């Protein structure tokens, strides 16, 4: 049946189905019945592949349906799958039937656009049977997926709404067991503490709830203390307090104001959830689930109309009743802090710990308060030193705390189903847990800006966050087992912290100098142990989430933004923005066949993860590196802890091991290109901040330095800066040290200058790093080398190295400095008028810099007087100026990432983003590379600085701004052909 004519399948409305129960007589075409057939596979005719086939002529008519086309096709098919099927037959009038072969079509006047070929009945029957079966299978699969989704959604909503209730019931069970068996159950350390505190704390809270104190007294010191059952409130207080001790940066204590507000917020959240559930408890479960996903916009509109109508009728009492029942008034920080302080006070009164039974039998038991309220001198984030009230825990509590993190309640765990789509500032993300589009950290002006922006303007932002949130993840069980084995053996390899403290030195001398040295060593050891404790708790929290999620088919991370427009997962512990440990444990739940290009990118990805300078080689050299280490890679995958452990020498060991496992499976397969890979493969920007500045300034030399221009191998700006620093120090070292004291420092440092020494400073220079920040960064790198042991000399060397590094940076990136200075000058003009700097990103996100002088708000609580920091009316001029250039560039890199995310979604790719690192499946890297380059060019083809200046002039009409900085003539389209732009 080969011909140049266009063929279309024959219409099947007049065919007898081979599985029909009886012969049906021919019938005249009739109008579609209003009654639907028993089996309706398609809701709309456009979904029916029989009618809307790509080659089927829709506008043709048969000469007559009364004259059958063939005696073999004399019966119409009963129970048409589409109610409009017979109607569509009337559109076939221009269809021509071939009765005497193709020769009859030779005349020009007999050459139709489409040709109708009759088919034997067995072909029609076979096609219809296969079509019917495939659609039934799809329908069944859809119903199964739908049922599984609702099961997972119920679990998700239970996890969000019933966590505290479940834990409360668990401790009630412990109490019953203790009463019945007359002994304490065998519990992990933290749970044994909680079991001992649970009943007395519950009774203390219950007593407070029934206290005869006046309502005014309760409002002043313990508002809303009766809003939850006493036992549930006790569980919240204990878990929150221990959680703060685990996650805090301080050792053994947490500030009262922080603890009080966190506990107050947790109680309020539980009250809100239980209030909603109470309202809907008489509704069917399905209705409650659906209601959890709706925004309530229609309901609010109807309520508003009803209230307006009642006001017109002057039925004020009914209006007040409606508002009292429907409106939820947030408690506010004052009441949260007061309630939290009273609950903390009750905890400190009842919670005790007892030393192990290692003391003599005659001695009384050593029972001590578990928590103490004291005042402590603390260095604040601003650099000021202040006397603050803190809750300090006993040393015994910390002894087993880090080993029992898995028993803590962790809110905002990854979701089992895709998050709610974002539709507004507080509409999206989790079902019940409060979810906000932006992390404003209390900035009132930023909140108002985001709340008041039209939703149409924010549509691309919503789509990007939804795309990131819809990426399905799972735990790499094989890698998790390796991590668990290392952690159980004491850690201290692959970046995991040592589980044992360093030894505190003993004093073995009475010499004053040695005593002084000993005291310094003791302080240093204690500080190291405090840091180790914090790191161990962090790892335990990450592993506890991994253990909880490892048996799930998949899970999702709802995302939101910081005030600059950068996207972050809302779950704080186990996420892909975190450490090498987390990134190694996580992988895409969806697997895709590698293909030829995917296998190549998997090898390059492994070389990148190994690091040690390999990632700066050309792609061919990276592939050769992997080829040279195939035996090491296979050994690492087969025997990660008992083999030669080559993967431990990588800069990102756990991610490297995951890539080794994936590549090893591929190489052992008889068909490597068909192997399914779940591994996210990364494409990272080359010093991305400077890439954005180079695109803004259009400087050709700077563009080449950061890989905006094609090259045989990637340019390494860090090595270039290191070489320039080395040259400057070489010159300085040759000078006379009597007239130039830095010559001594230059001679000391000249052998220690390398890429790693300057990398962090160069990377953060575009984000506004100060001289002090650069000095501390370089000081840490010099400490790691360990060649300078004297503290004073180390400090002086760090100062000199930081000065030289910033000087070298200014020489190479002069145009970027010009753009940075222009942005800072504009911010200074605005801030000098006591105005915050405002701008709108290219995707429509309004940004307000939240740097205001704070004012203290005094609250009198039962525990102490608290001073809450609130946003004042005066801006911090210096902070507004220095922070604007890095914040503006961050808003641009966030825009580029979100534009790429939406485009990847439209192209059918799975996408995850970590600021300037874009992830997808290995087989899709080529497509993603094309998209991210196109979106970068699209972004910077806009007149970004011109639009920014125009918006400043419109927003602040009375101010005069400096002219735009000079720019070069770099052609942005060169980015499209640069292989190492992201690599």
Q: Which residues are catalytic?
A: 684, 759, 916
Cβ pair 576, 682 in contact under 8 A: no
Beta bridge partners of 593: 676
394 C-beta neighbours (distance < 10 Å), count:
17
Cβ pair 804, 750 in contact under 8 A: no
- Which residue carries 């919503």 as its tokens? 462
Q: Return the ∠ at Cα 461 (arms to 459 and 464), rounded to 5°.
A: 110
559 membership: H or E segment, kind and range: strand 559-562
Largest CA distance in the chain: 121
What lies within 8 Å, CB to CB, of 826 at 6+ separation is 837, 884, 948, 949, 952, 961, 962
Determine how β-strand 352-354 pairs with β-strand 438-439. unpaired
| CA distance to 304, 305, 319, 430, 432, per residue, from 327 (Å) | 11, 15, 11, 21, 17
**Helix, strand, coil % in the chain, rounded to nearest 5:** 55, 10, 35
Beta bridge partners of 424: 427
Give the distance, in angstroms, between the CA of residue 690 and the centroid of all CA atoms in the same chain.
24
Give the closest residue to 924 by CA, choosing from 945, 903, 943. 903
Give the closest residue to 410 by CA, choosing from 581, 538, 535. 538
* Helix runs in 700-790, H state only: 700-705, 717-733, 742-749, 755-765, 771-785
Cβ pair 437, 561 in contact under 8 A: yes
- Which residue carries 């700006």 as its tokens? 717
* CA–CA dist 799, 771 (Å, integer): 8
Is 37 buried (19+), middle (13-18) or exposed (0-12) by CB count in 10 A?
A: middle
Determine how β-strand 438-439 pairs with β-strand 567-569. unpaired
Q: What's the token pair of residue 248?
A: 């805090």
Sign for the pseudo-dihedral over CA of 150, 155, 160, 162: positive
Cβ pair 923, 594 in contact under 8 A: yes
Give the closest residue to 343 by CA, choosing from 204, 479, 155. 204
* CA–CA dist 622, 311 (Å, integer): 74
Give the closest residue to 194 by CA, choosing from 237, 227, 159. 237
| CA distance to 119, 285, 328, 422, 835, per residue, from 293 (Å) | 51, 13, 18, 11, 39
DSSP 911-967: -EEETTEEEE-GGGHHHHHHHHHHHHHHHHTS-HHHHHHHHHHHHSTT---PPPPP-
* CA–CA dist 575, 724 (Å, integer): 38
| CA distance to 102, 169, 176, 183, per residue, from 180 (Å) | 94, 16, 6, 8
* CA–CA dist 884, 409 (Å, integer): 38
161 C-beta neighbours (distance < 10 Å), count:
18
Give per-residue burial for 709-730: e unless 16+ CB within 10 Å, then b. Answer: beeebbbbbbebbbebbbebbe
């Amino acid at each position: 049946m080969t011909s140049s004519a266009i063929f279309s399948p024959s219409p099947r409305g007049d065919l007898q189905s081979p599985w029909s129960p009886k012969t049906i007589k021919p019938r005249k075409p009739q109008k579609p019945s209003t009654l639907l057939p028993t089996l309706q596979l398609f809701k709309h005719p456009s979904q029916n592949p029989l009618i809307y086939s790509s080659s089927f002529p829709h506008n043709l008519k048969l000469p007559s349906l009364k004259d059958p086309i063939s005696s073999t096709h004399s019966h119409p098919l009963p129970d048409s799958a589409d109610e409009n099927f017979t109607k569509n037959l009337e559109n076939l009038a221009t269809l021509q039937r071939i009765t005497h072969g193709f020769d009859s079509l030779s005349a020009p006047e007999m050459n139709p656009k489409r040709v109708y070929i009759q088919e034997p009945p067995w072909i029609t029957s076979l096609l219809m049977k296969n079509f019917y079966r495939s659609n039934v299978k799809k329908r069944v699969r859809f119903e199964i997926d739908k049922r599984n989704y609702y099961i997972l959604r119920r679990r998700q909503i239970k996890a969000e709404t019933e966590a505290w209730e479940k834990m409360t019931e668990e401790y009630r069970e412990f109490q019953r067991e203790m009463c019945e068996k007359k002994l304490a159950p065998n519990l992990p350390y933290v749970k044994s503490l909680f079991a001992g505190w649970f009943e007395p704390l519950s009774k203390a809270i219950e007593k407070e709830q029934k206290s005869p104190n006046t309502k005014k007294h309760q409002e002043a010191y313990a508002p809303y203390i009766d809003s939850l059952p006493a036992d549930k409130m006790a569980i919240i207080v204990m878990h929150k307090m221990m959680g703060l001790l685990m996650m805090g940066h301080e050792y053994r204590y947490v500030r009262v104001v922080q603890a009080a507000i966190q506990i107050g917020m947790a109680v309020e959240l539980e009250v809100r959830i239980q209030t909603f559930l109470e309202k809907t408890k008489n509704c069917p479960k399905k209705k409650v689930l659906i209601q959890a996903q709706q925004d309530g916009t229609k309901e609010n509109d109807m309520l508003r109309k009803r209230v307006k109508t009642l006001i017109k009728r002057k039925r004020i009492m009914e209006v007040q009743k409606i508002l009292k029942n429907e409106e939820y008034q947030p408690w506010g920080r004052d009441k949260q802090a007061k309630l939290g302080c009273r609950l903390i006070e009750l905890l400190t009164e009842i919670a005790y710990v007892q030393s192990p039974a290692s003391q003599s039998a005659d001695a009384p038991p050593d029972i001590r308060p578990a928590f103490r309220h004291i005042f402590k001198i603390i260095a604040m984030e601003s650099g000021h030193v202040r006397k603050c009230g803190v809750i300090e825990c006993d040393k015994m509590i910390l002894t087993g705390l880090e080993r029992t993190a898995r028993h803590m309640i962790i809110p905002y765990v990854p979701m089992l189903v895709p998050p709610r789509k974002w539709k507004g500032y507080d509409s999206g993300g989790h079902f019940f847990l409060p979810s906000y589009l932006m992390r404003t950290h209390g900035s009132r002006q930023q909140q108002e800006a985001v709340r008041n922006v039209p939703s149409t303007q924010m549509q691309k932002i919503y789509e990007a966050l939804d795309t990131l949130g819809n990426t399905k993840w799972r735990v790499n069980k094989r890698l998790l087992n390796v991590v668990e084995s290392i952690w159980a053996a004491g850690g201290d390899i692959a970046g995991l912290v040592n589980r044992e403290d360093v030894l505190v030195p003993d004093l073995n001398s009475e010499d004053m100098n040695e005593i002084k040295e000993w005291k310094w060593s003791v302080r240093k050891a204690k500080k190291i142990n405090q840091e180790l404790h914090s790191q161990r708790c962090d790892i335990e929290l990450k592993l506890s989430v991994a253990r909880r999620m490892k048996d799930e088919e998949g899970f999702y991370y709802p995302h939101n933004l910081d005030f600059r427009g950068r996207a972050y997962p809302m779950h704080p512990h186990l996420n892909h923005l975190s450490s090498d440990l987390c990134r190694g444990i996580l992988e895409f739940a969806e697997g895709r066949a590698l293909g030829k290009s995917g296998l190549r990118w998997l090898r390059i990805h492994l070389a990148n993860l190994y690091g040690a300078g390999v990632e700066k080689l050309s792609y061919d050299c990276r592939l050769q590196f992997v080829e040279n280490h195939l035996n090491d890679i296979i050994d690492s995958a087969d025997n990660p802890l008992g083999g030669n452990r080559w993967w431990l020498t990588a800069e990102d060991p756990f991610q490297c091991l995951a890539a080794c496992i994936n590549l090893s499976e591929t190489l052992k397969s008889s068909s490597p290109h068909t192997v399914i890979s779940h591994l996210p493969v990364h494409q990272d920007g080359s010093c991305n901040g400077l890439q954005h500045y180079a695109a803004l300034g259009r400087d050709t030399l700077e563009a080449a330095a950061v890989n905006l221009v094609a090259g045989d191998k990637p340019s390494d700006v860090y090595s270039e800066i290191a070489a320039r620093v080395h040259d400057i120090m070489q010159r300085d070292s040759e000078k006379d040290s009597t007239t130039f004291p830095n010559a001594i420092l230059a001679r000391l440092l000249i052998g220690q200058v390398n890429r790693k020494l300057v990398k962090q400073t160069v990377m953060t220079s575009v984000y506004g790093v100060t001289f002090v920040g650069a000095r501390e960064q370089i000081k840490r790198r010099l400490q790691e080398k360990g060649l300078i042991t004297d503290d004073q000399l180390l400090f002086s060397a760090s100062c000199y190295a930081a000065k030289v590094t910033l000087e070298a940076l200014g020489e190479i990136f002069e145009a970027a400095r010009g753009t940075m200075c222009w942005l800072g000058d504009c911010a200074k003009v605005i801030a000098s008028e006591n105005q915050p700097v405002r701008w709108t990103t290219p995707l429509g996100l309004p940004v307000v810099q939240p740097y205001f002088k704070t004012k203290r708000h005094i609250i009198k609580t039962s525990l102490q007087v608290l001073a809450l920091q609130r946003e004042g009316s005066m801006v911090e001029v210096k902070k507004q100026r220095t922070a604007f250039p890095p914040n503006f560039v961050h808003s641009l890199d966030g825009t580029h990432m979100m534009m790429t995310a939406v485009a990847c979604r439209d192209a059918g790719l799975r996408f995850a983003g970590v600021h300037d690192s874009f992830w997808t499946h290995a087989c899709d890297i080529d497509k993603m590379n094309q998209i991210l380059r196109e979106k970068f060019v699209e972004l910077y083809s806009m007149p970004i600085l011109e639009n920014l200046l125009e918006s400043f002039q419109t927003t602040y009409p009375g101010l005069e701004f400096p002219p735009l900085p000079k720019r070069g003539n770099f052609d942005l389209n060169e980015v499209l052909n640069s292989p190492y732009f992201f690599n």
